[in-house]
Amino acid sequence: MANGGAAQQSTGPERVWLRQYGSGVPADIDPQAFASLAAVIDRACERYRDLPAFENFGTRLSYDDLDRLSQDFASWLQNVAGLQPGDRVAVMMPNLLQYPVTVFGILRAGLVVVNVNPLYTARELKHQLKDSGARVIVVVENCAATLAQVLADTAVEAVVTTQIGDLLPFPRGALVNFVVKRLRRQVPPWRLPGSLPFRTVLARGRAEPYHRVPLGHDDIAFLQYTGGTTGLSKGATLSHGNLVANLLQMQAWIGPKLDEGRDVVITALPLYHIFALTVNALLFAHIGARNVLITDPRDMDGFVAELARQPFTAFTGVNTLFNALLNHPRIASVDFSALKFTVGGGAAVQQAVAERWQALTGVALTEGYGLSETSPGVCFSPLDRPDWNGTIGVPLPSTWVSLRDDEGREVPVGTPGELCVKGPQVMRGYWNKPEENRAAFTADGWLRTGDIATVDADGWFRIVDRKKDMILVSGFNVYPNEIENIVALHPGVLECACIGVPDARSGEAVKVFVVRRDPALTEAALRAHCQAHLTAYKVPKAIEFRDALPKSNVGKILRKELRA
C-alpha cells in the first residue's frame, strides 16, 4: 500500500501557502510526539482526571470515569472476548457516552475500530462486517434488528448491545430508555441469542486485569469506511500515526484559540464520522475540553434547547446543520457570547450561510477540507480571518497539495486540476483493495482525492467540485458548487442542489432542486437572479421546487439520489 507518511521528505511544489499561516503556526509538526492514540488517551485521562470529558442528556463523564470505563471495556475485549492486537471491533451507535468509552477501550486494547453508520440497511451492514472481518460488534438496541438479519453471514463472534441511557444515572437512564422504547417506539423487536448487555461487559472486564499493549505509528487504529457513493464502501486504513499526525496538525492550526482544560465543544456531527472523530473526540480530549454530545441533531427543538442551556466555546458542523439552526424560530434564545470559533466541514460552506452565521453569532464560520482517507484534515482557513472568501484555505502543517491533470502533470496557477495530497495523515490504502489502491495514488505516491480545485498565486485553494459531479454543457465545464452557492444567495431559498441532466442540444443541462424559504418564490424570479450572477450556459435550464432534499447521515445533500 502507498503511505503518505513519507511526505516529510516530499520534493513536491513549493509551499507558497506558508505565507498565509497565522502567528505561531509552525510549517511542520512532530508526528513522533506520541507513539499512538492510546498514549494520547492515557495522557489526557491522567492530566485532566478531575475535569468533565463528555456530556450527554445532562450527565457528565469525567476523564477519570473515561479512564476507568474504557479500561474495563479493553479488559473485557482482551480477557473475555479473547481478541488479539489487530483484531477488528465494529461500533454501531449515535453520539452517546458509550461511544468514547467503547472506542477508547478498543484502541487501548490494541485493536482496530470499525465505525458503522447506525442508519445502514442490512445490505450495507453485512458488507462492512464481512469486508472488515470484525469479530465483535457493539450495537445500540435501536439497530439490533438490522444486525439480527445479517449476523449469521459474518465473522462476528460476540455481540454487545447497549441502550441509549446505559451510562446515565438512575432514574434518568431508566426514564430515557422507557421513552425511547415504549413511547417513541424507536427500538424494533430483535433477537440476538448470546448477546451481552453493555453494563454486564463492563462489570466482567472490571474483574480482569487490563494489559497495556505496545503500539506504534504503523499499527492500524481505524478502518474508516467511505460513503460508497460510487459503489460498495471501502475501508480507509488509518494508522495510529495517521491520526496522531492529524490531531497535532489541527492542534497547531487552532491552538491560539484553545484554552487547555476550559473549552466546551458542541458535537452534533456523529462521532463515527471522521471529522467529528478526529477533531471532537480526539483533539478536544487531548486538550482537556468538555464534549457536549448531541444524540439526535435532527430534533432541532431539543438541539436549540440544549444550546441555550449552557455556554460553549467551539462548534463543529456541516453547512446544512448551520442553515437549519439559522432558520429555527428560537435560535435567538441561544447565548453565543462565549463562542470562540465555528468550523464547517464535510461539504462546502455556502456564502449565504456563512454571512448569516457571522451576523448572528459574531463569529466566522471557518471552512475546512478533508476526507476519510486523510484522517481527515488537509486544508483549513485561518481562524483569524472572518470574511467568507469561498476558499478551503491553505494546507495544514506538514501537508503538501498538488493539482494534477488527467495525465498526472501539475497544472498552472488558476487552472482547475485534481487535488492530490501527501502528508503523514494520508492513509496507507484501502483495506484489502489492491486494485483500488493502484487507482487511488499517483505513480509518485500522491493520494488522488477526486476533487477538482484551483489555487492562486498566494496559495489559497478553492474546491471547484467533485470530478464525477462536473456538468458538461456544450463543451463547457459547469461545477454544481458554484451554481448552488449563487442560488442559495437568493433570500427566498432555504436549501438547494444542482445536477446535470441529459439535453438533446447541449449534451447536458443544469438543473437545480430548491426548498423554498419564501413560499411565494417563483421559477421566473429565481432564474432572473441566476441570470444576474451567472454566464448564460451556467443558468439553470430546469428548476424543481421540493419540500425536502435527500441527505446523508451527517446532513450532506445527496446529489446521487437526485440524479437517480
The residue assigned the cell 445532562 is: 58
| Identity at 367, one-letter amino acid code | E
User: For the chain, what is the radius of gyration of the CA atoms?
Assistant: 23
Q: Which residues contact 388 (CB under 8 A, 6 or more apart)?
A: 349, 351, 354, 355, 358, 364, 365
Q: SS3 for 281?
A: helix
Instruction: List the helix and strand counts (H, then E) for the chain.
Output: 17, 26
Interatomic CA distance for residues 76 and 205, integer angstroms? 4
pLDDT of residue 383: 87
CA 28 to chain centre: 24
Q: How far is CA 423 from CA 10, 47, 52, 243, 400, in A?
A: 9, 29, 33, 12, 6
Instruction: For residue range 238-295, list pLDDT tens digits in order.
Output: 999 999 999 999 999 998 899 999 999 999 999 999 999 999 999 999 999 999 999 9
Q: Phi-psi category of 58—alpha, beta or left, where left has phi over 0 and alpha has psi -120 to 50?
A: left
Alpha carbon distance, N-terminus to C-terminus of the chain: 34
Q: Which residues contact 55 (CB under 8 A, 6 or more apart)?
A: 61, 290, 291, 292, 293
CATH for 470-563, options being 3.40.1350.10, 3.30.365.10, 3.30.300.30, 3.30.70.1170 = 3.30.300.30
Per run of 10 residues, the mean pLDDT along the chain (length 564 residues) is: 43 82 93 97 98 97 98 98 98 98 98 94 92 98 97 98 97 95 95 98 97 97 76 89 98 93 96 95 98 95 95 93 95 96 87 94 94 96 84 96 93 95 97 93 94 94 84 82 93 96 87 97 96 91 96 87 89
Interatomic CA distance for residues 82 and 103, integer angstroms? 17
**Domain boundaries of the chain, sorted by first residue:** 1-27+239-466, 37-215, 470-563
Cα angle, residue 537 at apex, residues 536 and 540 outer, rounded to 5°: 90
Instruction: For residue range 463-497, list pLDDT tens digits in order.
Output: 887 778 889 887 777 889 889 999 999 999 999 99
Instruction: For residue range 281-305, list pLDDT tens digits in order.
Output: 999 999 999 999 999 999 999 999 9
The residue assigned the cell 453520539 is: 95
Helix axis angle for 480-488 and 351-361, nearest 10°, is 40
All cell numbers assigned to 313: 466555546
- Its CATH architecture, for the domain 1-27+239-466, is 3-Layer(aba) Sandwich (3.40)
Question: Is residue 19 exposed (0-12), middle (13-18) or buried (19+ Cβ within 10 Å)?
Answer: exposed
pLDDT of residue 1: 43
pLDDT of residue 227: 61
Kind plus residue range of the DSSP H or E element containing 238: strand 235-239
Interatomic CA distance for residues 271 and 280, integer angstroms? 8
Task: Say if 1-27+239-466 and 37-215 have the same CATH topology.
Answer: yes
Cα torsion angle, 215, 216, 222, 223, sign = negative
Do 248 and 120 meet the contact criterion of CB atoms below 8 Å apart?
A: no
pLDDT of residue 10: 46
Interatomic CA distance for residues 168 and 58, integer angstroms? 9
pLDDT of residue 12: 57
pLDDT of residue 2: 45
> What topology is assigned to 37-215 in CATH?
Rossmann fold (3.40.50)
Strand residue runs (E) in 311-446: 314-317, 341-344, 365-370, 377-380, 394-395, 400-404, 417-422, 429-430
249 closest CA partner among 3, 556, 554, 5: 5
Cα angle, residue 420 at apex, residues 414 and 424 outer, rounded to 5°: 130
